[in-house]
Amino acid sequence: MREKLNGLAREGWQEYNEYIMSLGFPSLPKSRLISPSPYLNLYGYPEEIDYTDIRTMPSNWLRFDSFKRNEKHENFEIPLKLKNKSGKLIYFSLGSMGAANVELMKRLISILSKSQHKFIVSKGPLSEQYNLAHNMWGEKTVPQVQVLPFVDLVITHGGNNTVTETLFYGKPMIVMPLFGDQFDNAQRLQETGYGLRLDPHNCTDNELLEGIENLLNNNELAAKLEKISKRIQSSNSLSKVVDSIEGLVKQNGYTD
């Protein structure tokens, strides 16, 4: 399977590289979709789950903790349907692409309907094709950044945005990867002890329901996540990124 995936990736890379070269740009590094800058490269990933334990980054690479969206125009309140229900509040989202798999959403909603807890669900682009259970409320789209402060746990596909935003607010995660960076994020969160990785297509009812209970009742993890949240929110790492870019511009003789 891995060899087959690598072969497909090589085919995609060759096609994309030919396109890049047709525009007059130099060839990309083998199997990579970008050429690292010799001056400054940026990547967003919280320090606690970064791979610094197994590799170091060159001096021209700068990490920042979070690229959390603001969504200041949104004003979210917990719906009355859920306010009056007992149990912890959980946010469930597989992203717009994952939620487009209606059969998968139905499968997971069926399992979660057996939980004693309540759920906010981001239903996705085909929201009208399935119904939520008695312990759920959801819409086609949900203002995620506004929802996260209210919830006790996040069940996610594990994209970079959701992972970094969830850690910004110090919430535990069950990650159900579907493609791309999600597999790495899910595995890294499990390896570092900040979340649980499950297969959305094959996990059993007990695996998901027990995973929810284990994370919600892990006081040691809650304390660690609270510490991470406080550090990220006070790190001001985006300002450091701005300073680095401005410093690079000035260093190369450009002035306002």
pLDDT tens-digit readout, 77-126: 888 889 889 999 999 999 999 999 999 999 999 999 999 999 999 999 99
Reading the block at residue 106, the tokens are: 């139905």
Q: What is the C-alpha separation between 85 and 76, in angstroms, rounded? A: 18
CB 41 within 8 A of CB 60: yes
The pLDDT, as a whole number, for residue 247 is 84
Residues 6+ apart with CB under 8 A from 17: 27, 28
- Where is average pLDDT lowest: 59-68, 181-190, 197-206? 59-68
The residue extents of the domains of the chain are 1-35, 80-233
CB 90 within 8 A of CB 120: yes
Q: What is the C-alpha separation between 68 and 21, in angstroms, rounded? A: 34
Q: CA angle, 89 as apex, 85 and 94 as ends, to 5°?
A: 125
The pLDDT, as a whole number, for residue 162 is 93
For 80-233, which CATH class?
alpha beta
CB 64 within 8 A of CB 237: yes
- What rounded mean pLDDT belongs to the chain? 90
User: What is the helix, strand, coil percentage profile of the chain, to 5?
Assistant: 45, 10, 40
Assign residue 46 a region: left if phi > 0, alpha if psi is -120 to 50, beta otherwise? beta
The pLDDT, as a whole number, for residue 11 is 80
Q: Read off the pLDDT of residues 38-68 as tens digits, 9 standing for 90 and up.
A: 889 998 889 999 998 888 889 899 888 877 6
